[in-house]
Structure 1
Amino acid sequence: MNPHHTTHSPAYERIKANPKFQRLARQRAILAWSLSALVLAIYYLFIMLVAFVPGWLHLPLYEGSNLSRGIPLGAAIIIFSWLLTAWYVRHANTRFDALSAEILEENLA
């Protein structure tokens, strides 16, 4: 038997052909690619700041501060990424999981 050839059950084929499943897959892909692009753009912009205006990042956060602007900016980027991940997980666990359960219920019942 060819290891790349698998037989799919009729339920699998019904789910794959279901318009709700196709919409779910498309929505998940669009959201995942959009969030990935957003995070990559933010990190890229930070690297551009480091490369082209490092002096601005070295300036003190406020008058008399020993903390430079770069530290809170870098921390904000990391925290933003965590929050975006948490939002995606919550969104996936509510909307996507509910739609997945609905699709399974329709096609396996």
Structure 2
Amino acid sequence: MSTTDHGSSGPPAGAGEGRTPYEDALDSPEFQALRRRFRRFVLPLSAFFLVWYATYVLLAGYAPGFMSTRVGDSNITIGLLFGLGQFVSTFVITTAYVRWANKHFDPAAEELRHRVEGGAR
């Protein structure tokens, strides 16, 4: 076999100093700012939802008397309200994320993508 076989692991053609434009973008201040912005929004929201969900599961498992407490004179229980609250909170969190991403995250990500792809051509 020659040293120019197809199994070489050298950098792609036009990568400049062995790095692709995408690798350069990962180290860019713009990308790092996007990651921080994403994490500042998503991690607290995810933590809130996981605590809310764990509370529901723990109450259902360890406080069945409380969860079976009827609300007023109806057949609706606290457990049912908590369960329905899980669905409501999922839709609220999803809607909040989509609105936030459309307004604050996606435009900056799109701009960075165009710059990186424009430099890769």
TM above 0.5, one fold?
Answer: yes
Alignment RMSD, CA only?
Answer: 2.6
> After TM superposition, where is structure 1 displaced by more than 6 Å over at least 4 residues in a row?
none
Please say if 1:18 is aligned against 2:11: no
Query: TM-score, with normalisation over the residues of structure 2?
Result: 0.71
1:35-83: per-residue Cα shift (whole Å, max 9, x none)? Answer: 2221111111111211222111111111x21221211221012211211
Instruction: Tell me the residue number matched to 1:74.
Output: 83
Please say if 1:29 is aligned against 2:39: yes
Identity %: 26
SS of alignment partner, residue 74 of structure 2: coil
With over 3 angstroms needed to count, the CA separation of the structure-2 counterparts of 1:2 and 1:29, relative to structure 1, is farther
> 1:23 Cα deviation (Å)?
0.8
Q: Which amino acid aligns with 1:51?
A: G
Instruction: Tell me the residue number matched to 1:45.
Output: 55
Q: 5+ unaligned residues in a row in structure 1: which ranges?
A: none
**CA distance, structure 2, for counterparts of residue 20 and residue 66 of structure 1:** 54
Decide which structure has greater helix share. 1
With over 3 angstroms needed to count, the CA separation of the structure-2 counterparts of 1:101 and 1:51, relative to structure 1, is same
With over 3 angstroms needed to count, the CA separation of the structure-2 counterparts of 1:17 and 1:57, relative to structure 1, is same
Relative CO higher for 1 or 2, CA cutoff 8 Å, sep ≥ 6? 1
**Bigger radius of gyration, 1 or 2?**
2
> 1:6 Cα deviation (Å)?
7.0
